[in-house]
Amino acid sequence: MGRTKLQAPYSGADLINKDSVFYCEKSINGQGKKTGQITGTITLTDIPSSGTKVQIHTSSFSQYPTYWWNLYKEIDTSSVSGASATFNWSLPVYETFKPNSESTFELIILPDNSLNSYTVTLPNKTLGNVNDNIGNIGTISIKGVTLSGTININYDENPVPYLELYALYDVQDLLNITCFSSPEPNAPWSLTYGKNRNTKVDIKFQIIGYSEKNKNNMLFDIFVKDIITINNNQDKSGIVIDIGNINTY
């Protein structure tokens, strides 16, 4: 298929998303021209919600002769109506791809209640050629750990215009983030992070408030004094975060 010229150049006010089309004299991703696509299927279980985004990623590296490549593509889960389903997937292949490569696979999961993603490891596969069909990768649980509860916080007796709630684990730093726009008292919240290899995880919360969503003006940055403990990657609900009113004076 030939190139289609853009009707007009992008400007600073234009919205750009994953479906936006770009044309460039050089490779945007540094991997050269597209040469084919790898295909297959995968069965996902424990899908958190219909708004969850799932991306498949594979890469390969060899020390001698030295080469590497990375392939990414979103799996279309828009038609899912339950917690499990089988999906077709494909990965675009570029000039950096080397045939008969032993490749690592993983899923990148972005829950709709969180701002950060987590990964789920898949079995390694050997990719024979640029248009290989490797069949079904297997049945894979993408369940994370979901924390949920209510939050009560105001700024100068008014709802905070934009709020981010961070779940932190000192051993691994940030677990995930969720956000709110002008939350009312006792607003419900939830966030999901990837399963942890430790049986016991002590989590503290950080709350950052802004005057608007673009984060130009930070109003406050505080830590919640109470720490919660998660055992064996079990979900925890009913977490009450009651800060009350934060004054500017």
Q: What is the pLDDT of residues 89-134, one digit of tens each?
A: 999 998 888 888 889 999 999 999 999 999 999 999 988 899 999 9
97 exposure class (CB count in 10 Å sphere: 0-12, 13-18, 19+): buried
Interacting residues of 73 by C-beta distance below 8 A, sequence separation 6+: 55, 56, 89, 90, 91, 92
**DSSP code of 78?**
T
Q: In this structure, are 133 and 153 located in the same domain?
A: no
> Which range, 13-17, 50-54, 166-170, 210-214, is most confident?
166-170
pLDDT digit string (tens) for 1-45?
Answer: 445 555 666 666 677 776 676 666 666 667 788 899 999 999 999
* CATH for 170: 2.60.40
233 exposure class (CB count in 10 Å sphere: 0-12, 13-18, 19+): middle
Q: In this structure, are 38 and 137 located in the same domain?
A: yes
| Domain final residue pick, 141, 173, 203 | 141
Q: Are 106 and 121 in contact (CB under 8 A)?
A: yes
Q: Do the domain assignments include residue 28?
A: no
Rg (CA), the chain: 22
Q: Do the domain assignments include residue 57?
A: yes
Q: In this structure, are 134 and 191 located in the same domain?
A: no
Q: In this structure, are 41 and 137 located in the same domain?
A: yes
Q: Count up the domains in the chain and report the number.
A: 2
| Domain final residue pick, 95, 115, 141 | 141
| Chain mean pLDDT for the chain | 88
Q: In this structure, are 42 and 118 located in the same domain?
A: yes
Q: In this structure, are 112 and 180 located in the same domain?
A: no
Q: In this structure, are 153 and 228 located in the same domain?
A: yes
Q: Which domain holds residue 106?
A: 34-141
Q: Do the domain assignments include residue 24?
A: no
What pLDDT does residue 1 have? 43
Selected residue with higher pLDDT from 63 and 32: 32
Token readout for 248 is: 């500017």
CB atoms within 10 A of CB 196: 18
Q: How far apart are CA 6 and CA 112, in angstroms?
A: 32
CB atoms within 10 A of CB 12: 4
What pLDDT does residue 248 have? 73
Q: In this structure, are 61 and 92 located in the same domain?
A: yes
Q: Do the domain assignments include residue 17?
A: no
| Domain final residue pick, 141, 160, 183 | 141
**DSSP code of 248?**
-
Q: In this structure, are 111 and 190 located in the same domain?
A: no
Q: Do the domain assignments include residue 240?
A: yes
Q: In this structure, are 55 and 115 located in the same domain?
A: yes
Q: Do the domain assignments include residue 53?
A: yes
Q: Do the domain assignments include residue 242?
A: yes
CB atoms within 10 A of CB 113: 19
Give all strands of the β-sheet with 101-110 in edge-to-edge order.
66-75, 53-63, 101-110, 118-127
Interacting residues of 231 by C-beta distance below 8 A, sequence separation 6+: 199, 200, 201
Return the percentage of the chain with pLDDT > 90, whole number.
61
Q: Are 228 and 239 in contact (CB under 8 A)?
A: yes
Q: In this structure, are 215 and 172 located in the same domain?
A: yes
Helix (H) or strand (E) holding 167: strand 162-169
Q: How far apart are CA 231 and CA 144, in angstroms?
A: 13
What pTM was computed for the model?
0.84
Q: How far apart are CA 173 and CA 116, in angstroms?
A: 13
Q: Do the domain assignments include residue 55?
A: yes
Interacting residues of 24 by C-beta distance below 8 A, sequence separation 6+: none
